[in-house]
Structure 1
Amino acid sequence: MTFAIIRTDPTSEELPPPLPEPAADDLRLDVIMGALADPLRLTIVHKLLLESEAYDHACGWFGFDRPKSSLTHHFKVLREAGLIRQRQYGLERRSRVRNEDLEARFPGLLRLVKAWHPGTADG
């Protein structure tokens, strides 16, 4: 009996292209900090950092009780600031943090966001 190995994780060549985003060299700290100043956007990036970095996550995965238009706006702000990369999968946009680009440009920033705890006096 022969078994075929079925790969479920797409290679970079099989992924849809990312939506428009700033180049790594064009990332600006003031724009990134402005995007992270909103508690919901900070929570989005925090949750993405705590989960597997190998997968793109759909907006519904976060479980926010917000109108779709509101979430679309927040994800767009994060993408245009350069914090997340989004890809279109059919009717669904999925997101992940741009770890490599952000760590190269602003070392330690993502470590701070990951260490933040929602609802605490310092967060």
Structure 2
Amino acid sequence: MTRPRTAARTVEHPDLSEVSLQQVMEALVDPVRRTLVSQLARAGEDLTCGTFEAPVAASTLTHHFNVLREAGVIRQYYRGTAKLNALRADELEERFPGLLSAVVGASVAEGAEVA
């Protein structure tokens, strides 16, 4: 007996040319989301959802990841059953030069980042 073949899980991402500065800023105004972005920037690699330190429940964390993804700040993808998160740093730098590094730097400077 053969098992039915299942399609790979995918996640939709916006084209950054269609993302406004307003959308990105609204996503980054929340301190929890800035913490997630700072942790990704510091890690220098893609991270699974469960590796982030945040002062919110897992269901709330999912909401924050969705907001960041829909604003084009992160890219999410599956590797097996794990969902990984990647910072779209190069794409954001091209679209909004200096924005991401300024936000991450300010977040660290004000101590908003979860250690």
Check conservation: 2:68, 2:74, Cα contact below 8 A: yes
Q: Are residue 43 (structure 1) and residue 68 (structure 2) matched?
A: no
Check conservation: 1:27, 1:105, Cα contact below 8 A: no
Aligned AA (2:36): I
In 2, Cα distance between the equivalents of 1:69 and 1:83? Answer: 19
Tell me the SS of whatever aligns to 1:96.
strand
Percent of aligned pairs with the same residue?
Answer: 39
| Closer, same or farther: CA 122–77 of 1 in aligned 2, 3 Å | closer
Aligned AA (1:33): M
Residue 97 of structure 2 is matched in structure 1 by 107
In 2, Cα distance between the equivalents of 1:18 and 1:42? Answer: 25
Residue 34 of structure 1 is matched in structure 2 by 26
Aligned AA (2:63): H
Structure 1: runs of 5+ lacking an equivalent: 1-15
Check conservation: 1:56, 1:96, Cα contact below 8 A: yes
For residues 49-97 of structure 1, the C-alpha deviation after alignment (integer angstroms, 9 at most, x for no partner) is: 1121xx3201121122422111110000000000000002233211011
Residue 60 of structure 2 is matched in structure 1 by 70
Residue 114 of structure 1 deviates from its aligned partner by 2.4
How well do the aligned residues superpose, as a CA RMSD in angstroms?
2.4
Give the structure with the larger helix fraction: 2
In 2, Cα distance between the equivalents of 1:113 and 1:100? Answer: 15
Aligned AA (1:88): Y
Q: Which stretches of structure 1, 4 residues or more, deviate above 6 A after TM superposition?
A: none
Check conservation: 1:44, 1:62, Cα contact below 8 A: yes
Q: How many residues align?
A: 106
The TM-score normalised by the length of structure 2 is 0.80
Check conservation: 2:34, 2:104, Cα contact below 8 A: no
